[in-house]
Amino acid sequence: MVAKLTQGFWARTARIILRNRILILFLVAAFTFFMGLQWDKMRFSSSQANLLPDEHPVNVQYQSFLNQFGEEGNVIAFAIRDSSLFTTENFNRWNKLSKQLAAFPEVDFVISTDNLQELKKDNTKQEFVLDALIKSPIKSQSELDTITKHLFNDLPFYDNLLYNAESRTVRTVLYLDKDIVNTSVRKDFVLKDLTTLINDFEMETGLDVHVSGMPYIRTLNSQNIIDEIGKFILAALGVTSLIFFFFFRSFRATIISMFVVIIGVMWAFGFLGLLQYEITVLTALIPPLIIVIGIPNCIFLINKYQQEVKKHGNQALSLQRVISKIGNATLMTNVTTASGFATFIITDSKLLKEFGIVASINIIGIFIISLLVIPIVYSFMSLPKTKHLKHLNKRWIDAFVNWMEHLVREKRISVYIVSIALLVISIIGIYQIKISGSPIEDMPKNKQFFKDIRFFEEEFDGIMPVEIVVDTKSPKGIMKPATLKRMDQLSDVVEEIPELSRPVSVVNLVKYSKQAFYNGIPKYYQLPTTQEHNFIMQVAAKSSGNSNLLKSFADSTGQIARITTFMKDVGTERMEAIESRLQENIDKFFPSERYDVYMTGSALIFLKGTKYLVKNLVLSLAFAIFLIALFMAYLFRSFRMIIISLIPNLLPLVITAGVMGFVGVPIKPSTILVFSIAFGISVDDTIHFLAKYRQELIANKWRIQKSVYAALRETGVSMFYTSIVLFFGFSVFTISNFGGTVALGALVSATLLFAMLANLVLLPSLLLSLERSIANKEVLKKPQIDILPKEEMRRGKNVDDGTS
């Protein structure tokens, strides 16, 4: 009953489409125009991707830290490692640069050699005062030498903050206004004002300025994402159109297909604007994905139209059959593909949820566009010429199908041996997979800003903030000698870890106060003794400059303080080892009954987010498999068929995971997407093959062998066509500058290639080997839905009739 209703629905749909051609084209054009109007609402991501849900305990702590101390990632650093800097002219120009930077309204303040304040003791007033290191432009080389010697030798407070004494690298640290760090204002400032200033400085002095810091890195990284969108779209259009033309040898068919997918791209951007989702490294992939996934729809529809024309030459009947016979099959395959993306919606990650929503909506959208536009456009054109139908009889295609049939007929044992061997080897590889939680690992390695990241890691031991928050549970508890001593002990542990930079906290300020108290002698840069503490703190309390410095390290009540360090780009295992060592020492130095101490910062947030994401995406993949299994159950009403259909789709995923382990591609936010995407797409081939197989069973009086070979010959060519398009289409992403996008493209391409071979060789082999188990009434019942129409139940020697 359901099958009859389905057939009737598609017959009515075909009549409606072909009788209302002008109206439908007008509606498509109007909706496309409406989507074009939404483009100005598109927003490019200004904030760092947070993979954790808002209510996650780690995220709650991070937000608490931000509320207490403000945005941590608001620092941009400029550094020069060149002896030529230490000339009067160049050093004065360097100091001028810091004045120029500080003049911008987007800048909160700047710390540099130009405005460096030296803490000194005023013996008359018995208080500390801040005295400028440089009071006026430097006039002589001897004056400069004296200043730099004093800076490098006598001011340890600024070591690793403004200079590296060993390499004599000097840097300026800019603090952006916290209110604009996560807005588009930051982008304009970095790309225009900041870049212009640095370029001017380099031209005037001939010095090379290294620039880094999370706001700068995120801005240039986002700009690279924007630049790549256009590159991906052009590359996807170019590759798919060439392959399409190679198969069909028709400019008309190629242009129509490109027209369809371009409309799909316009809709994709429109939905991003309409839903007001940010364009991230993931959502930037959707427009080219729509091109890659949309072309197979065009192949099915145009191929079917040309076959119908070749068969009877009646244009109206051909177009009607294209819609009524291909509509249901194409809908089902697009639904399964969309389901693979839609499973990301169940994750708690905002980044993935938005990607899943937009991708799944647009996959259904490109199906609707294809089904409406292609038959209508062809209805206004003349019938295809004989030369346009030649592709339906290619010898090399026959040779490919014959090869597959030979493997299934004669080499089934070899097929199983190879499959089992690949499974075993892949499982071994899976155990070698590592998880990566580095926020900079996927960034373009050939860009200058990435090279500058490595420079700052070498000179200042990292750029990713790690924060340790100490709550003493009592006002002014931070300045108690016992607390300062505990913080100093923990800081020593941090300094011993080579991947972490020298920590900065209120402890440094207290040490600097003691040094100032003893007239700036460097050896007194240490914590005061118990006897010294009260007296030095009394002097410090009178000093307004000291209290201003204190604001950066502790809250206004003196109850909560921060210890700030920066981490190098390290592997997840090492990052976890560092976290474990720090936590062990936190528990050792800070009794839980007296202190609340926790670690946070963007480096740890990304690590926790990656691990959380992996767990969620394993669930989403399991959910995708469950959804497809349900679909198969509804379609074939056979548990055995569900198992048989899942094997050739799960094996390629296992093989890909094994390859990742052997070649060292880690599990990370970009590569974990491979499995759900590839599974949702590859299962289409299984549906096509089994639908045709079931149909052949009915036509061939339940003779399984004959039905399997007939289905293989019928479906093999179109499965090959679409798999080639998908393989090269996803390979487009390997031209990316982002390591994660390259890995995503390569892995999905490889998985789909494995899936095609599994569906064309392993699946029919299983059906033949298990024919006694599956040749029963359970399988042979009339299905709930006829994917393929009854009149298609014939064996053909040409390219698949469009149902595959």
pLDDT of 635: 67
Is 60 exceeded by the pLDDT of residue 769? Answer: yes
H-helix or E-strand containing 565?
strand 560-567
- Whole-angstrom Cα distance, residue 738 to residue 440? 10
pTM of the model: 0.74
- Whole-angstrom Cα distance, residue 127 to residue 478? 21
Provide the H-helix boundaries in 343-411. 350-379, 395-410
Q: Are strands 43-44 and 117-122 parallel, antiparallel or unpaired?
A: unpaired
Q: Are 597 and 468 in contact (CB under 8 A)?
A: yes
- Whole-angstrom Cα distance, residue 610 to residue 617? 10
Is 734 domain-assigned? yes
Q: Six-digit token pair at 209?
A: 């300025």
Is 637 domain-assigned? yes
- Whole-angstrom Cα distance, residue 312 to residue 304? 13
Is 60 exceeded by the pLDDT of residue 47? Answer: no
pLDDT of 459: 85
Report percent pLDDT > 90 for the chain: 13
CA-nearest of 712, 629, 786, 751 to 3 is: 786
Q: How far is CA 9 from CA 2, 323, 792, in A?
A: 10, 11, 18
DSSP state of 782: P
- Whole-angstrom Cα distance, residue 475 to residue 327? 71
Residue whose tokens read 């057939």 = 7
Instruction: Give the other-Cβ count within 10 Å of 484's Cβ.
Output: 20
Instruction: Give the other-Cβ count within 10 Å of 127's Cβ.
Output: 17
- Whole-angstrom Cα distance, residue 272 to residue 150? 56
Number of alpha carbons in the 13 Å side-chain half-sphere of residue 474: 7
Query: pLDDT category, 608, cuts 50, 70, 90?
Result: confident
Query: pLDDT category, 437, cuts 50, 70, 90?
Result: low
Chain mean pLDDT for the chain: 81
At a CB cut-off of 8 Å and minimum separation 6, what does 425 contact?
A: 658
pLDDT of 6: 58
Query: pLDDT category, 777, cuts 50, 70, 90?
Result: very low
Is 80 exceeded by the pLDDT of residue 531? Answer: no
Is 60 exceeded by the pLDDT of residue 373? Answer: yes
Write phi, then psi, for 603 (nearest 5 degrees): -65, -45
At a CB cut-off of 8 Å and minimum separation 6, what does 284 contact?
A: 225, 226, 228, 229, 232
Helix (H, G, I), strand (E, B) or coil at 469: strand
Q: How far is CA 283 from CA 5, 289, 395, 438, 700, in A?
A: 38, 10, 41, 20, 47
219-247: average pLDDT: 82
Is 60 exceeded by the pLDDT of residue 783? Answer: no
**609 exposed, middle or buried (CB, 10 Å; 0-12, 13-18, 19+)?**
buried
Range of 341's domain?
2-47+220-431+606-792
Helix (H, G, I), strand (E, B) or coil at 445: coil
Kindly report, residue by residue over 681-727, the tens digit of the pLDDT.
778 778 777 777 777 777 777 777 787 888 787 777 777 877 888 88
Q: Which has more confidence, 536 or 117?
A: 117
Q: Which has more confidence, 795 or 241?
A: 241
Is 200 domain-assigned? no
pLDDT of 321: 80
Is 50 exceeded by the pLDDT of residue 22? Answer: yes
Q: How far is CA 551 from CA 68, 69, 667, in A?
A: 11, 9, 40
Query: pLDDT category, 795, cuts 50, 70, 90?
Result: very low
Label each residue of 694-755 as H, E or C.
HHHHHHCCCCHHHHHHHHHHHHHHHHHHHHHHHHHHHHHHHHCCCHHHHHHHHHHHHHHHHH
DSSP state of 435: B
Rounded-to-5 percentages of helix, strand, coil across the chain: 70, 10, 25
Tell me how far the alpha carbon of residue 425 is from its chain's centroid. Answer: 28
Q: Six-digit token pair at 370?
A: 């294809």
Q: Which amino acid type is present at position 529? A: T
Query: pLDDT category, 424, cuts 50, 70, 90?
Result: very high
53-76: average pLDDT: 79
Is 50 exceeded by the pLDDT of residue 546? Answer: no
Q: Are strands 278-279 and 43-44 parallel, antiparallel or unpaired?
A: parallel
Is 551 domain-assigned? no
Write phi, then psi, for 394 (nearest 5 degrees): -100, 130
Is 509 domain-assigned? no
Query: pLDDT category, 385, cuts 50, 70, 90?
Result: low
Query: pLDDT category, 391, cuts 50, 70, 90?
Result: low
H-helix or E-strand containing 756?
helix 739-757
Query: pLDDT category, 390, cuts 50, 70, 90?
Result: low
pLDDT of 326: 73
- Whole-angstrom Cα distance, residue 272 to residue 284? 10
Q: Six-digit token pair at 604?
A: 């740890």
- Whole-angstrom Cα distance, residue 463 to residue 568? 6
At a CB cut-off of 8 Å and minimum separation 6, what does 205 contact?
A: 84, 89, 90, 93, 94
Tell me how far the alpha carbon of residue 694 is from its chain's centroid. Answer: 40
Tally of domains within the chain: 1
Query: pLDDT category, 785, cuts 50, 70, 90?
Result: very low
Q: Are 286 and 359 in contact (CB under 8 A)?
A: yes
DSSP string, 578-606: HHHHHHHHHHHHS-TTT-EEEEESHHHHH
Residues forming beta bridges with residue 598, ordered by sequence position:
469
Is 255 domain-assigned? yes
- Whole-angstrom Cα distance, residue 374 to residue 148? 73
At a CB cut-off of 8 Å and minimum separation 6, what does 386 contact?
A: none
Q: Are strands 464-471 and 596-600 parallel, antiparallel or unpaired?
A: antiparallel
pLDDT of 730: 84
368-396: average pLDDT: 76
Helix (H, G, I), strand (E, B) or coil at 127: strand
309-320: average pLDDT: 80
CATH, residue 691: 1.20.1640.10
Residues forming beta bridges with residue 211, ordered by sequence position:
78
Q: Six-digit token pair at 441?
A: 């690992």
Is 19 domain-assigned? yes
Q: Are 482 and 489 in contact (CB under 8 A)?
A: no
> Helices 673-699 and 704-731 sit at what angle, rounded to 10 degrees?
150
- Whole-angstrom Cα distance, residue 620 to residue 674? 12
Query: pLDDT category, 773, cuts 50, 70, 90?
Result: low
Q: Are 762 and 421 in contact (CB under 8 A)?
A: no
Q: Are 471 and 560 in contact (CB under 8 A)?
A: yes
DSSP state of 38: G
Instruction: Give the other-Cβ count within 10 Å of 736's Cβ.
Output: 24
At a CB cut-off of 8 Å and minimum separation 6, what does 343 contact?
A: 356, 620, 621, 623, 624, 627, 676, 680
Q: Which has more confidence, 670 or 55?
A: 55
pLDDT of 60: 84
Q: Six-digit token pair at 635?
A: 């379609």
- Whole-angstrom Cα distance, residue 305 to residue 300? 9
